[in-house]
Amino acid sequence: MFFLFTISLIPISVFAKMDTARSSIVMDIDSGRVLYSQNADEVRLIASITKIMTAVLAIESGKLEEEVTVGEEVLKMYGTSIYVTVGEKMKLRDLVYGLLLRSGNDAAVVIAKYVGGSEEQFVSMMNQKAKEIGMTNTTFENPHGLDEETKNYSTARDMALLSSYAYQSKTYRKISSTYEHVVSTGEKTYLWYNRNKLLKTYSYATGGKNGYTPKAGKTLVTTAEKDGLRLTIVTLKDSDPFNHHQNLYQTYFDLYHAYKIVDQDTFSLSSPYLDGIAYIQESFTYPLKESEKKDVQVLAKIPNQKRNRAEEVGTIEVKLREKVLTNIPIYQKLEQKKKSFFERLKLFFTKT
């Protein structure tokens, strides 16, 4: 049995002028909808935005409060660094701050050795996590992004998937959005400022990571939120990354809004094929242009059979034109029938 809903979408709350990057993508973090892309599946060197994956594995290790002793692995590092020294001790959490805020290549190898046991094993973990996330065109060979000896390749689309995945972590959001961090190890005191300039120049920016090598060019991953719409942007080999990202955010926050299409708090449905009260356990929000609202359909599907148990009894299908966006399970809550006097009396003597 089908029930077609009348949709009243309430907002929770551009197209790029000029794309200065070789590869670009604008993706909605929550739904994965791509709002804009250019050469998004072109495989390229990614430089230090590699460190988003390094941070993810460090956070998910559950060892952030453990103290790490810096080893000789830092002696081979060059480029951007936090300048820790052999034998110095620092919490893993603070190493992640140094990794994301200052793009410390030395922090990357210390994290890799501590979390993975060795850099080689950590790189294996990076590639395994990439597969789990759905990054089908990504290959990691090191935890930092330097590309003179070993090279990390990915695409704008894959890095947007990684950014969206990382953003689900409160810890990642907190660290990547921090503009200033101070840490003292007993030997030295460090003051780090975030190299992500967008945090200062764009009020809706919420985090991200930049990168650069001569071969990769300028790379940038950022996130921003406005009126309930959470976006991530990735640009690879970009001649003007920070201005480019700000222009893209302004364009697509104007074009799209986050609409709550199905609300679990207001959902109601009655059917002769239900013995109880229908309910859902999740809401569904999706980014839409104003002109797309009329193209959304919400269809509740209840099979033509009665059920007498509290179980999944159907689904809500949400479509944008002919594309199915999601299927949400419908459950039923059975009403408790009041027992008669004799049933309660029988129950009383049974218990006693």
Per-residue pLDDT tens digits for 21-52: 999 999 999 999 999 999 999 999 999 999 99
Show which of 173, 203, 238 is a domain's final residue. Answer: 238
> For the chain, give me the number of helices (H) and strands (E)?
9, 19
On whether both 203 and 287 belong to a single domain, the answer is no
Name the percent of the chain lying above pLDDT 90. Answer: 80
Residue 168's alpha-carbon distances to 28, 164, 174, 230, in angstroms, are: 13, 7, 11, 11
Whether residue 298 has pLDDT greater than 70 = yes
- The 10s digit of each residue's pLDDT in 169-185 is 999 999 999 999 999 99
Domain assignment present for 264: yes
Residue 246 lies in a domain: no
Kindly report the average pLDDT of the chain as a whole number.
91
The residue annotated as part of the active site, out of 23, 24, 103, 176, is 103
> Do residues 106 and 73 share a domain?
yes
| Domain contains 252 | no
Residue 255 pLDDT exceeds 50:
yes
Both 214 and 288 in one domain: the answer is: no
Q: Is residue 139 part of a domain?
A: yes
Domain count, the chain: 2
> Does residue 139 sit in the same domain as residue 162?
yes
CATH number at residue 85: 3.40.710.10
Which residue is catalytic, options 51, 129, 209, 218?
51
User: What's residue 38's pLDDT?
Assistant: 97
Mean per-residue pLDDT, 129-147: 98
Provide the pLDDT for residue 16: 44
Name the band, by pLDDT with cuts 50, 70 and 90, for residue 69. very high
Round to whole Å and give the CA distance between 111 and 104. Answer: 11
Same domain (yes/no): 223, 266: no
Active site residue 103: yes
308 and 205, same domain (yes or no): no
In a domain, 234, yes or no: yes
- Give the integer Cα–Cα distance in Å for 306 and 313: 9
Mean pLDDT of 124-137: 98
**pLDDT for 220:** 98
Same domain for 81 and 222:
yes
Tell me, yes or no, if 51 is annotated catalytic: yes
Q: Residue 247 domain-assigned?
A: no
340 domain residue, yes or no:
no
**CATH number of 267's domain:** 2.30.140.30
219 and 96, same domain (yes or no): yes
Q: How many CB atoms lie within 10 A of CB 142?
A: 22
* Domain stop point among 207, 238, 269: 238
Residues 296 and 164 in one domain: no
Residue numbers of the domain that contains 164: 21-238
pLDDT in tens, 193-206: 999 999 999 999 99
**In 169-258, alpha helices (H):** 170-177, 198-201, 241-255
Q: Of 24, 48, 163, 164, which is the active-site residue?
A: 48
What integer is the mean pLDDT of 74-86? 96
- For the sheet with 312-320, list strands across it: 2-4, 296-301, 312-320, 323-334, 276-279
Q: Give the helix, strand, coil percentages of the chain, each rounded to 5.
A: 30, 30, 35
Confidence of residue 269 (pLDDT cuts 50, 70, 90): confident
Residues 279, 180 share a domain: no
Coil, helix or strand for 274?
coil
- Examine the domain organization and report whether 215 and 291 are in the same domain: no
Q: Which SS3 state, helix, strand or coil, does residue 108 take?
A: helix
Residue 245 lies in a domain: no
Residue-wise pLDDT for 92-104, tens only, equals 999 999 999 999 9
Q: Whole-angstrom Cα distance, residue 123 to residue 146?
A: 14
Report d(CA 205, CA 196) in Å as an integer. 10
- Rounded to two decimals, the pTM is 0.88
Mark whether 96 and 153 lie in a shared domain: yes
pLDDT of res. 18: 79
